[in-house]
Structure 1
Amino acid sequence: MADARGNRIVVADLTKSFPQPGRGRADRQVLGGLSFTAEPGEFVSLIGPSGCGKSTLFNMLAGLESPDSGSIRFGTSDGGPVAAHCAYMPQKDLLFPWRTVLDNTILGLQVHGLAKPEARRRALELFPVFGLSGFEDARPFQLSGGMRQRAALLRTVVQERELLLLDEPFGALDSLTRTEMQSWLQNVWQRYRWMVLMITHDIREAVYLSDRVIVLSARPATVRHEVRVDLPRPREVSMITAPEFVALEQELLDVLN
């Protein structure tokens, strides 16, 4: 397993409200003083009711939204741009149909000014690891759903950021493909040990992949509960029936219900 290096992230007392349409209507508060930390190399899942502010949090981490109050820090940084440390993979793969798989995976690097030949060289190094060798010149429509998600994740990690933000990365996949992708992600994560924050509505997925699971309250979101997953790695799919695994699932279900 690779060594975990980098900075911890500290999310402190984030609040956020959005105006509601209609004269005289009060703003809708989405985040209500949200605080948590994540350590280098840690895999943390965020679960909670729909609409509680998980995606708003990710937008703040990615630099797409600003909090009304509170702060996000990496290591000892004093409020520098958070987005400089993050790579964001949204729910949909968002692969451009007119570009090859290879040229889709280099989009983030090109946006940040890297020359196309060097961007391609970096991405090509990861194609064997991501199970995409031989599909460099394919178009997205020629890939299965799981392969499209692998390409989208490659596009994310090739940017070499300290923190990966995964917003329900397997939510659109069928059950068998989803299970396969969960096992694959675990294996690749253990090889590279990125710091990962993942939004999911699947409690079993959260327990299977994570070091910690953070449960958010209904809107306005705060941290309602936190569970440390002290199960050995690598985790086999058969582990989901183990008493320790089932107990963690039940603990999270009890909090959410």
Structure 2
Amino acid sequence: MSLEVRGVTKAFGSLAVLRDLNLSVEPGEFAAVIGPSGSGKSTLFNLISGLDRPTSGEILVQGAPASVASGKVAYMPQKDLLFPWRTVLDNTALGLEAQGVRKKEARRRAGELFEAFGLDGFQSSYPFELSGGMRQRAALLRTVVLERPVLLLDEPFGALDSLTRTEMQLWLADMWQRYRWTVVLVTHDIREAVLLADTVHVLSPRPATVVERIEVPRSGPRGLDALSEPEFAATERRLLDSLSGRVSRVNEVTAG
């Protein structure tokens, strides 16, 4: 497995955020994590990336304990976090430079991906000159150029308008089919999860655990045509039932 989360519990003082959570991702798999707001999805990412440690349980990345020092996880947060005073090329090379790669080499390696990421010709531009979708592509380029085994994407398109979001989802689907990265995506968008992911892990409300793992059936490439497939609609419905059913049961218990 590229990633194994085994019986992880995380609490902040008396507040339990995750409880006995299990999740595994195979090499080259695109996995999505979806759950109610406040269910601990970002906390889970902080644990996988090694920015925090679980209260109990363990997280293994390629068989080794998760840690920042391992260099096995690349984390793209919700905001693109591009520095306005650096050119797009310098922004995308920043992660490599932070790892000790010389600036010239870092720029060369990042620059090789600009055409594939639809950014060719914007190497010398600044972030304010890019559209929202282009900024997100630059942020993803900065993430994948690190060549780490696991990519964590935390709501990467959440701030985009609906049309741009759909465009970026289709673009990411195409890029994944080209490069076969191992990806874990956090999202609140059921359609996004079904369009992009091979498997969807449904979280309960806090303290979160995985209540269902759903495999996404596919009869062809990931694109607009997939949205009209009966299997797509059925998987969306199953996800919605899983989420709403769990929330409803919790609310009934609380009301009682």
Fold match (TM-score > 0.5) = yes
What is the number of equivalent residue pairs in this alignment?
Answer: 243
Q: CA deviation digits over 1:232-257, x for unaligned, max 9?
A: 34222132122111100000001111
> Which of these residues, 53, 78, 81, is aligned with residue 67 of structure 2?
81
Map of 1:96 onto structure 2: 83
Question: How far off its partner does 1:63 sit?
Answer: 1.3
Contact 2:49–2:67 (8 Å) recurs in 1: no
Identity value in percent:
61
1:160 is aligned to: 147
Aligned to 2:110: 123
Q: Does 1:173 align with 2:165?
A: no
- Equivalent residue number for residue 249 of structure 2: none
Match of 2:230 in 1: 243
Q: Please state whether the residue corresponding to 1:126 is helix, strand or coil.
A: coil
Superposed displacement of residue 80, structure 1: 6.0
Shift in Å, 1:178 = 0.7
**Displacement after TM superposition at 1:121 (Å):** 0.5
Q: Given residue 133 of structure 2, which amino acid in structure 1 is its aligned partner?
A: G
For 1:46 and 1:80, locate their aligned partners in 2 and report how far apart those are by CA, in whole Å: 18
Q: Which runs of 5+ in 1 are unaligned?
A: 1-6, 20-26
State the Cα deviation string for residues 127-161 of structure 1 (Å, max 9, x = none): 00000000000000000000000000000000000
- Work out the CA distance in 2 between the residues paired with 1:233 and 1:86: 29
2:36 corresponds to which of 20, 41, 49: 49
In the TM superposition, residue 36 of structure 1 has moved relative to its aligned partner by 1.0
Range that drifts further, 52-61 or 227-236: 227-236
Cα distance in structure 1, aligned partners of 2:32 and 2:168: 16
**Which SS does the other structure have where 1:255 is aligned?**
helix
Q: Distance in 2 between matches of 1:39 and 1:15?
A: 22
User: Which of the residues 135, 151, 159 maps onto 1:148?
Assistant: 135
Q: Distance in 2 between matches of 1:168 and 1:232?
A: 26
Rounded to whole Å, the distance in 1 between the matches of 2:11 and 2:92 is 34
User: What corresponds to 2:205 in structure 1?
Assistant: 218
- Tell me how far apart the structure 1 counterparts of residues 59 and 50 of structure 2 sit (CA, whole Å): 11
Separation (CA, whole Å) in 2 of partners of 1:235 and 1:80: 31
1:18 aligns with 2:18: no
Alignment of 1:191-210 (within 5 A): 191-210=178-197
Name segments (4+ residues, structure 1) moved above 6 Å: none
Instruction: Give, as a single letter, the amino acid of the residue that structure 2 aligns with 1:50.
Output: S
In structure 2, runs of 5+ residues without a counterpart are 245-256
TM-score by length of 2: 0.92
Tell me the distance in 1 between the aligned counterparts of 2:220 and 2:111.
28
Q: Does the 8 Å contact 2:2/2:149 carry over to 1?
A: no
